[in-house]
Amino acid sequence: MTPTRRAKTTTCLTLASTLVVAVASGCSLFDSKPDPGDAARALASALSKGDVSGVAWQGSTAAKANAFVGAAFKGMGTVRPSVALASVKLEDGSDRATATLTSRWDVSASPTDWTYQTQAALTLVDGTWQVAWSPRILAPDLAADETLDLTRTSPQRADIVDPTGKAIVTEREVSVVGIDKTKVSGAAATAAAKALATVLDIDPAAYAAKVNAAGAKAFVPALTLRQGDPALTENRARIDAVTGALRVASLQMLGPTRTWASPILGTVSEATAEQITSSNGALRAGDEVGQNGLQYRYDKQLRGTPGLAVQAVKKGADGSSLAKRELFAEASKDGEPLTISLDQKAQTAAEAALAQQTKQPTALVVVKVSTGEVLAAAVGPGAGGSPLALAGKNPPGSTFKIASSLALVRKGATATTKLPCTNTITVNGRRFANYTDFPSNKLGDIPLTAALAFSCNTAFISQYQKVSQAELTTAAQSLGMGEKLDLPFTGFLGSVPATTDVVEHAASFIGQGRVEASPLTMALVVASVMKGETVRPKLVESAAALPAPATPLKPAEAAVLQQEMRAVVTEGSGKVLAQVGVQYAKTGTAEFGTTNPPKTHAWMVAGRGDLAIAAFNEEGKSGTTAAAPFIISFLKAYDAK
């Protein structure tokens, strides 16, 4: 009896030990099936990565399944789904389960994602849950001969329009002229490139190098020409005679002419690699984007929002698409037009006034006095397409005496207040003089009106101890000059910097020293005088209004300035403008450079009716001879029916 009882005790201890080990290890002797949820979550993670090689498949090998997933997702680019396990249903008493997966694709910048659910069948085989292979696990009803493809639908880029809604920049037909290297190669391609460059009047060596560097089957553009461009119409036969030359018809967003307000409007072309990289996925190869000017600043508004479509594509043996069905789509949103204040008649007249100025930079700006709208902002060919009209930085010379006059009025001066106009004046060792042809009969104590009308430098400089630099700065700001405002376009409103240098302060009275202005600046100064209050520029119609200066211009102050500027036309240096009805004016020259005698910039500002005009010439003896002709030419063309 004793041995038998001892044997039973030993058996019970062994079973108890086993139970302890089982409990300690977290398993059960009565239910050893693994959780199908773990396998389903592993499947979701693998799909999210686009790599299912680690999944236990049933009905396919891991290699084949992984290859299918790679091919199916390839058309989605770098986008991959975020896949999560929604639920797992285990059939009672069975080794089968069904997993429901939720896939979410962030295919665009919009808050809406492509989201769907698919199901995967799981079977427990030898203690491992295997997933039954099916393309439908990847996407709804995806077939074995289909892949996913993400395509973008481009929106229509919007026009830049004038206040009447008439298009300024819109799609215009062009011909892209270049060499097609599928038709010519090697030394022949080099010779063809040089021949075509000669016809188009571009650098032959540079274009030949560009052609040589391009791929063997590339089309290498040389020049884009508008329909009607003489370079195309007069040379079409010569272009076609060049072996390998090709003219490709295209549509491009362009202004009325090649030069028409081009520094302001800007250009549109394919996005660069750098732009694509920095866009955080907003841009792709082939997208058209603004490169400068308003096209760049308002690119997002003008470009619109691209749409997209996710398609299941059935492909033939040769890789061609046989059928497509749409799984998800977002409609594109066309760009919104940008309305600007440029008046097409005024801008065209301004461009024509400067058309012959090829040797040096010139500019002309016209502002509508009542609203501050920029009606025209043109540069001559010699400006090389620079933003000189709105953003140039040059000393305004004697046109700044308008601001100096305001500072004197605020010190109690009137139009009849006498100022000493002498041949020269010396300030702290620096000698200042009047311009060479200053009329000798205007020397002596002359009224403020005459000092401005005949532009006596010494009369204004003589007040340097009465008016501080800060007071000059404030006067300029009251006329719309010298404040750093957040402009909705590339522009410069001038600068009258503080200084403790006495000579520099004296020079500021005549618009030199470190005083700077753009033609836009000086047109605003004239507009403010004419309106009797500070005028702010307006180019983009939708832009918020700019703030008023801390010290606004008063009508009574402006009345004195109007009287002075009227005298410039009736008896002073602006008489030449009377022929086109100009009512107010001021000439200006400003020394620059190191030559002896120094070269001078030439300015002329004028006002007539509701127009304030500023003309600038990089180099000229006087505003009367080197800038006033631009204003005369402009007004004659503007007035013509």
The answer on pLDDT for 220 being more than 80 is yes
Side chain identity, residue 5:
R
- Residues forming beta bridges with residue 247, ordered by sequence position: 177
* Span 36-150 CATH architecture: Roll (3.10)
User: How would residue 194 be classed by pLDDT, with cut points 50, 70 and 90?
Assistant: very high
Q: What is the mean pLDDT of the chain?
A: 93
The answer on pLDDT for 498 being more than 90 is yes
User: How would residue 109 be classed by pLDDT, with cut points 50, 70 and 90?
Assistant: confident
What mean pLDDT comes out for the span 105-109?
Answer: 91
Give the pLDDT score at 31: 54
Beta-strand pair 128-132/114-125:
antiparallel
- Pairwise CA distance, residues 55 & 46, whole Å: 8
Give the pLDDT score at 79: 93
Joined tokens for residue 331: 């409609």
Q: pLDDT tens-digit profile of 568-623?
A: 999 999 999 999 999 999 999 999 988 888 999 999 999 999 999 999 999 999 99
| CB-based contact 192:243 (threshold 8 Å) | yes
The answer on pLDDT for 392 being more than 60 is yes
Joined tokens for residue 330: 């977002």
Give the pLDDT score at 499: 97
CATH code for the structural domain at 344-639: 3.40.710.10
The residues spanned by each domain of the chain are 36-150, 160-321, 344-639
- For the residues of 529-571, what is the DSSP string, one character each? HHHTS----B-BTTSPPPPPPSSPPPHHHHHHHHHHHHHHHHT
CATH code for the structural domain at 160-321: 3.90.1310
Q: Which of 127, 147, 131 is nearest to 139 (CA)?
A: 147
Can you list the pairs that 102-107 forms with residues at least 24 positions away whose Cβ atoms lie under 8 Å?
103/47, 103/139, 105/76, 105/79, 105/80, 105/81, 105/310, 105/328, 106/79, 106/82, 107/76, 107/79, 107/150, 107/308, 107/310, 107/328, 107/330
Higher pLDDT, 3 or 196: 196
Joined tokens for residue 565: 């500027």
Q: pLDDT tens-digit profile of 397-450?
A: 999 999 999 999 999 999 999 999 999 999 999 999 999 889 999 999 999 999
* CATH topology agreement for domains 160-321 and 344-639: no
User: How would residue 283 be classed by pLDDT, with cut points 50, 70 and 90?
Assistant: confident
| CB-based contact 263:379 (threshold 8 Å) | yes
Give the pLDDT score at 399: 98
Give the pLDDT score at 23: 37
The answer on pLDDT for 158 being more than 60 is yes
The H or E element containing residue 19 is: helix 2-24
